[in-house]
Amino acid sequence: MQLSQLKVIVTGGARGMGAHFAARLAEAGAQVVAADLDEVGLATLPAGIHRRVCNVGNEGECESLVQWAHAEMGGLNALINNAGIIRDGLVLKENRETGEITKFDTKTWNAVLDINLTGAFFMVREFAYMLATKGIRPGVIVNMSSVARHGNRGQSNYVATKAAIAANTVTWAREFAKYAIRVGAIAPGMVETPMTQGMNQKARDALVAAIPVGRIGVPEDLWLAAKFVLECDYFNGRTIDVDGGLIM
């Protein structure tokens, strides 16, 4: 589809990649709803972008968001499933001084699954249901996976969600084909966002040094991939790695 034809929801749209996607879509003539828990961040988005506070980990809020977006824009045909969080930690952590071993806690495990996986599922389900029941054709979903989906030390919860998103991109593409809804995914490597800016500096420097192109990514790099998925009607059920050649 042409970008100017899109009526799109961007979750996690208040900052980072989500805010960049929302702004670039609006520049291209799309109607955009940016959804996020961050009201302050939403208020800083360019004029013309619709804003909605939403916790994607809440089933009812996702349903309300999709219904509101459809009414607000006079239709709906695209979703960028971008909301996500990181809560890293080793499954077992040993204190270097005392030798005490502590376990990764279940609350932190569930927090990431609730947003990154269950929240993504809620949004996909409600979006697809809206298009299927309203007879809207065609539609497109862009999911956000990660290079970490292949496995990365200290990220058991994050890895689990991003691997599942990549796998379900295939599943959902097959299930929604009858409704003319395409589903693609983007797997970023290390990208300059508020999320990565909070990383331990030593770990950050080591990751950047491992990127063959010699730099950290920027949101525009990921926008080019999102734009391709949105516009290319022959792209479906696949994940695009945009990582500068990084292998974790």
> How far is the C-alpha of 83 from the C-alpha of 111, rounded, in Å?
13
The active-site residue out of 129, 158, 179, 234 is 158
Answer whether the bond into residue 188 is a cis peptide, omega within 30°.
no
User: How many Cβ atoms sit within 10 Å of the Cβ of residue 13?
Assistant: 33
- The helices-and-strands tally (H runs, E runs) of the chain is 9, 9
Closest by CA to 134, choosing from 211, 191, 75, is 75
The Cα–Cα gap between 248 and 246 comes to 6
Rounded alpha-carbon distances, angstroms, from residue 25 to 45, 121, 148, 220, 248: 12, 23, 27, 12, 31
91/75 Cα distance (integer angstroms): 45
179 counts as catalytic: no
Residue 190 CB-density burial (10 A; 0-12 exposed, 13-18 middle, 19+ buried): buried
Beta carbons within 10 angstroms of residue 169's beta carbon:
25
Contact 141, 184 (CB under 8 A): yes
Catalytic residues: 158
